[in-house]
Amino acid sequence: MQPPHHIRIGTPGKPRVVFAHGWGRTHRDFIPVAEALAPSVDAYLFDMPGFGESERPGDAWGTADYGQFMSEHLLDALGIDSCVWVGHSFGGRVGLRIGARSPGLLQHMVIVAGAGVPRDIGWGEGMKRKRSAAKFQRLKAAARDEDALIALEKQYGSPDYVAARETGMRDIFVATISEDQSDQLHKVAVPTTFIYGGADTETPPEIGRKLAAGIPQSEYIECPHYDHISILDRGRHQIALAIKEAVQGGEA
């Protein structure tokens, strides 16, 4: 498999920072933060495998596969043996895998609106979702043609699920979206900063608080009024500050 595409922003010789974007996104999400920190960091902004300009994995990878591939690439191809990992959403999931599997590689993690543990839902909502999923499967089985199937997916599926058909990433999306990393959190021996938007409905604050509670060296920061995407834009100063503090802590 080809190495993942990345761009490099910053100052060689400064502390290395690796940026990993969310599902369906690209390295471009983090360009403003990397440019703001350019005098003090050496930043690597990746298109994760299957996104942007990076080759899609041959199999239906889960986040553990992504974590193994990225850690091996950083060490073997780029010679990076210590870095700050900054991951948004899906990139946060992958970072948690690396933190549990190869903690020596990471100096610090900054997880922005990351997923990885299930949301708390009541019994009634849980039953509603199960009935909806069962109905979706019945209707899919009876769909008369491809157009009817696509219409059902748009009605019952999330935007990312629908988009994954066009990008050829549906199998990987299904493999990763339901992962529960709760039992791996205690293995993350890396200082971790969690940053979440108070108005995020995709990975709401409860997810961040759960993740932070499971990792010994963690800090949770909540930014009111920001959602899953605006946290990258309106919240970029908070992200940059967390990275700056992580880098300074590593140099101390």
Beta sheet of 106-112, edge-to-edge order: 6-10, 42-46, 16-20, 83-88, 106-112, 192-197, 218-223
Q: What pLDDT does 131 receive?
A: 77
pLDDT of 216-250, one tens digit each? 999 999 999 999 999 999 999 999 999 999 998 86
Please give the share of the chain, as a percent, with pLDDT higher than 90: 75
Residue 43 vs residues 14, 35, 94, 151: alpha-carbon distances, Å? 9, 9, 18, 42
Structure tokens at 79: 């010679």
pLDDT at 214 over 60: yes
Among 35-44, 151-160, 191-200, name the one with the lowest average pLDDT. Answer: 151-160
With 90 as the cut, is the pLDDT of residue 203 above it? yes
Answer for the pair 96, 76: CB distance below 8 angstroms, yes or no.
no
Q: Is the pTM of this model over 0.85?
A: yes
pLDDT(252) > 50:
no
As a whole number, mean pLDDT of residues 151-163 equals 74
Average pLDDT of the chain, as a whole number: 90
Mean pLDDT of 132-160: 71
Confidence of residue 70 (pLDDT cuts 50, 70, 90): very high
What is the pLDDT at residue 109? 98
What pLDDT does residue 144 have? 72
Angstrom distance (rounded) from CA 251 to CA 211: 26
Taking 60 as the threshold, does the pLDDT of residue 84 lie above it? yes
pLDDT of residue 178: 84
**Residue 94: pLDDT over 90:** yes
**How many residues does this entry show for the chain?**
252
Q: Kindly report, residue by residue over 178-189, the tens digit of the pLDDT.
A: 899 999 999 999
Average pLDDT over residues 97-121: 92
Q: Which residues pair with 88 in a beta bridge?
A: 112
